[in-house]
């Protein structure tokens, strides 16, 4: 299954979404179309599985934020992970971002957001993070802020994750009412 997903990812990166089809994926993966259909009944199933794979990689790395001693450091860690993941395979990330917004795919992927929400909730309860009037709304706002900024940077072709991380950090900490030590006027 991993070989099939990687074949699909490489097709997306080199030929685009319009070229992605089960026959080409099976050929690139070195499996029969019948074998591919055992795992993925069609193109959308491949895309959903690719998005889930990428989200799993992101979550696995993002969980390291919980090892950070402060909420601020944990947020910095999360921001760095988000920026690196988006810029690691920028073409694939852009295409998957577009696809995950399609209604049938978005609906299927909705449950995969719960671990990210849980992770952010655990960070938001740290003592150095100011309490928010509506923590659930703040978590979703922050996730959307981070996502929008890293997605936009990818669309512009940015490659410097450190500069991106600093901009996202200023925005996130500003939202939370936290003054960052490195960016005081």
Domain spans of the chain? 1-41, 53-183
Q: How many helices (H) and strands (E) does the chain have?
A: 10, 0
If you average pLDDT over residues 124-150, what whole number do you get? 94
For the domain 1-41, what is the CATH code? 1.10.10.60
Q: Which two tokens stand for residue 180?
A: 């960052």
Give the rounded distance of the alpha carbon of 74 from its chain centre.
17
Dist CA 62 CA 81 (whole Å): 6
Q: What is the dihedral of CA 162, 164, 167, 173, to 10 degrees?
A: -80
pTM: 0.87
Question: SS3 breakdown of the chain: % helix, strand, coil, rounded to 5?
Answer: 80, 0, 20
Helix H or strand E segment including 170: helix 161-176
For the domain 53-183, what is the CATH code? 1.10.357.10
Dist CA 37 CA 120 (whole Å): 36
Q: Each residue of 153-171: pLDDT tens digit?
A: 999 999 999 999 999 999 9
- Distances from the Cα of 67 to the Cα of 71, 80, 110, 173, angstroms: 10, 14, 27, 19
Dist CA 74 CA 70 (whole Å): 6
Contact call for residues 137 and 183 (beta carbons, < 8 A): no
Dist CA 160 CA 109 (whole Å): 29
Query: 130 φ, ψ to 5°?
Result: -60, 140
Q: Each residue of 15-51: pLDDT tens digit?
A: 999 999 999 999 999 999 999 999 999 999 999 999 9
**Predicted confidence (pLDDT) at residue 184 exceeds the cutoff of 90:** no
Give the rounded distance of the alpha carbon of 129 from its chain centre.
23
Residues 6+ positions from 80 with CB-CB distance below 8 Å:
161, 165
Query: 108 φ, ψ to 5°?
Result: -70, -30
pLDDT computed for residue 52 by the predictor? 95
Q: Each residue of 72-99: pLDDT tens digit?
A: 999 999 999 999 999 999 999 999 988 9
């Amino acid at each position: 299954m991993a070989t099939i997903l990687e074949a699909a990812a490489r097709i997306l990166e080199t030929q685009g979404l319009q070229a992605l089809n089960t026959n080409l994926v099976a050929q690139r993966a070195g499996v029969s179309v019948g074998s591919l259909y055992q795992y993925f009944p069609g193109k959308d199933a491949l895309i959903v599985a690719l998005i889930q794979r990428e989200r799993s990689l992101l979550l696995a790395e993002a969980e390291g934020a919980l090892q950070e001693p402060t909420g601020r450091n944990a947020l910095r860690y999360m921001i760095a992970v988000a920026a690196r993941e988006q810029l690691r395979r920028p073409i694939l990330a852009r295409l998957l971002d577009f696809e995950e917004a399609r209604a049938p795919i978005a609906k299927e992927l909705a449950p995969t957001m719960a671990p990210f929400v849980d992770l952010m909730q655990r960070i938001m309860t740290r003592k150095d993070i100011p309490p928010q009037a509506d923590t659930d709304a703040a978590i979703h706002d922050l996730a959307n802020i981070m996502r929008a900024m890293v997605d936009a940077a990818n669309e512009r072709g940015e490659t410097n994750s450190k500069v991106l991380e600093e901009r996202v950090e200023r925005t996130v900490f500003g939202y939370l009412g936290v003054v960052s030590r490195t960016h005081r006027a």
